[in-house]
Every structure is written in C-alpha cells, then in structure tokens.
Amino acid sequence: MPRRSILSAAERDNLMALPEGEDDLIRHYSFTESDLSLIRQRRGDANRLGFAVQLCLLRYPGHAMASEMPVPNAVIDWIARQIRSDATVWSKYGARDETRREHLQELRVYLGLSAFGLPDFRTLVHSLGDLAMQTDKGLVLAAQALDILRQRRIILPAMLVIERACAEAVTRANRRIYRQLLEPLQSHHLRGLDNLLNVAPDTNVTWLVWLRQSPLRPNSRYVREHIERLKIFQSLALPDGIGLQIHQNRLLKMVREGAQMTPRDLGDFEDERRYATLVALVIEGMATVIDELIDLHDRIMVKLFSAAKNKHQQEVQKQGKAFNDKV
C-alpha cells in the first residue's frame, strides 16, 4: 500500500520555491568576492553561469540542481548580471552530465556541505520527535526538517524523503502518546472503555454515542439526562491527571478522529490506538458534559428570571389600573 502523503502539491512547491522578488534575490543570491573568483575559473559563459546557479541553489533552498528542474528567469537574469554573463547561454549548460556532477562536487567542498544519507534520515526523524508530539501537520514538520538539514549543512534530499521522515516522526509520536495514555490504566479501566462500544439498554445506540449527545432544550428532563451522562463518565474512574502530559493539539486531533469513527471502526483499531482514542474521547466528553450542564443551568435560570419579570410587569400593570380606577 503506498504511503499517505502528508503534503499537498502546493505545499511542496512553496517549501522548495526559489526567490524571485528583488529583496529575496539580494538576500539569498548575492556573491562575495570569493564566490566571484571561483566562478571566473570556469571556462565559457555557459559553464560560469551554470556553476553560479548551482552555487546559489546549494545555498538556498539547499538542494542540488536536477537536470529537469526549472529555474525562474528572474533568478537566471539576476545571477547573469552579477557575473556579467549573457542569460541566454543558460540553456547550453550541462550538456554533459559529467560537467554538472564535477561542479557539484567542487561546490560541496567549497561550501562545506555533505550528502544526505541513511544516518541523516534517522537523525532527522529523531530531531522531529518533540515537534511531532505537539502537531502532526505536515507543513510545519517539513519546514522544521528543512531548517534542521540546513543548519547541519546537509544537501536537501527529494521532498519525498522529507515527507517520509516527517511521517515516521508522526508515527513514533503517536505510539508514545498511546503508551502515555495507557500506562496508568488498569484492567477495570480497560473493561469500562470497551463497554462504551456496547449498545446501551433501551436504546439502539452505543454508550459512546449516547454519551456524546447534546441536550436539545434547557429543561429539567435534559438536565437529568446530562447528569446521568456525567455519572457514567465518572464511573469509569480514570486516573486523575490522565492526558495532561499530552499536548492539547494532539489530544483534540484524536478526539476529532474518534468522533468521525463508528463504534465498529473503533473496535477494529489495534488495542493501543483503540484504548487511547477512547480515553481522549472520555476526557473531552466529560469536559463537554460539564460545560453543557453549566450552560443548561444558566439558560434555565435566565428563562425563570425572564418569566418572573414578565409576571411582575403584568401584576404591576393590573395593580396600576386598579389604583387609577380608585383614584
């Protein structure tokens, strides 16, 4: 089964986009005297321009130039003006792949860069671990991955490799989160969580679905029902503080995913993921029920005060009319 992509095509393009505005071109693609001296050592305008372009791309965004990679005209024109070359010779560069490879090797030494390898992949996955515990958003993780590789002066691999490292970091973070949520649980907690997937008596829905239902109107009937829901949540007796060590973003993501699943889908999860998801649903569900009970109380009190106020005004009007009649 192919690995699910964590980035859209637009996000990949944005992450690896080359600068085209004048300010960005000046910041990223301005040459020093040392750079110009090295560029002038190439023979022929096409080689000098191609060598200069490779130098720029290795500095930012930090990858080696591929033969099929399009380079914006604004970049070519800016570099050509600096080295006093004709931008039209760009199409002649790299007719021989060997020339391109030789230039790349020389620039790697000049810039102090190293090629990306398997040890770097493992280190990258480990470095993304803390961020993956906070978010599983591919764009955020991929941007962090690029920053890490640039700081370590490693030539960026293909975006597919970056995505794979981010996905692996998210998978490892998920497992850590599952273990942290399950570690304080005992057998009776697990039995109570499993029971949430069973059908509640006198209904055609599971306990989990019933517990997540919201009150329809602010009246005593729905208050009593919601109090019963709160009691069932409390009867699970989950350990105090469970879930506090999990970042709120990740916990809420588990709740959203769990809410979209049917009880059968949840039952098909592997044990760690199923119990962790149910714990997240219980934590969020209990907080929601408490909030809704407070809201029900407030709405009922407002309704009572409004009715009392109207009754008082009606009495005042009646008394005022009787008083006027007597006067």
pLDDT in the model for residue 57: 94
pLDDT in the model for residue 170: 96
d(CA 128, CA 143): 11
Residues counted in the chain:
327
What band does 95 get if pLDDT is binned at 50, 70 and 90?
low
What band does 74 get if pLDDT is binned at 50, 70 and 90?
very high
What band does 315 get if pLDDT is binned at 50, 70 and 90?
confident
Please provide residue 60's backbone torsions phi and psi, each rounded to the nearest 5 degrees: -155, 130
**Residue in this structure with the two tokens 């693609």, named with its chain if needed:** 29
CA-based nearest residue to 4, from 126, 118, 134, 168: 168
Please give the mean pLDDT across all residues of the chain: 90
Q: Stretch 145-155: mean pLDDT, rounded?
A: 96
Residue 322 has pLDDT above 70, yes or no: no
Q: Stretch 269-283: mean pLDDT, rounded?
A: 95
Percent of the chain scoring above 70 in pLDDT: 95
Residue 73 has pLDDT above 80, yes or no: yes
What is the domain partition of the chain in residue ranges?
A: 9-111, 118-181, 187-319
pLDDT in the model for residue 179: 96
> Which tens digit of pLDDT belongs to each residue from 35-59?
999 999 998 999 999 999 999 999 9
> Which tens digit of pLDDT belongs to each residue from 121-136?
999 999 999 999 999 9
Most confident of 167-176, 219-228, 302-311: 167-176
Kindly give, in sequence order, each residue whose CB lies less than 8 Å from that of residue 282, ignoring residues fewer than 6 positions away: 193, 196, 233, 236, 238
Residue 201 has pLDDT above 70, yes or no: yes
pLDDT in the model for residue 302: 85
pLDDT in the model for residue 220: 84
Assigned token pair, 247: 């970042």
Distance, C-alpha 295 to centroid of its chain: 31
Residue 1 has pLDDT above 70, yes or no: no
User: pTM, whole model, 2 decimals?
Assistant: 0.84
> Which tens digit of pLDDT belongs to each residue from 204-236?
889 999 998 888 788 888 889 889 999 999 999
Give the largest CA-CA distance in the chain: 117
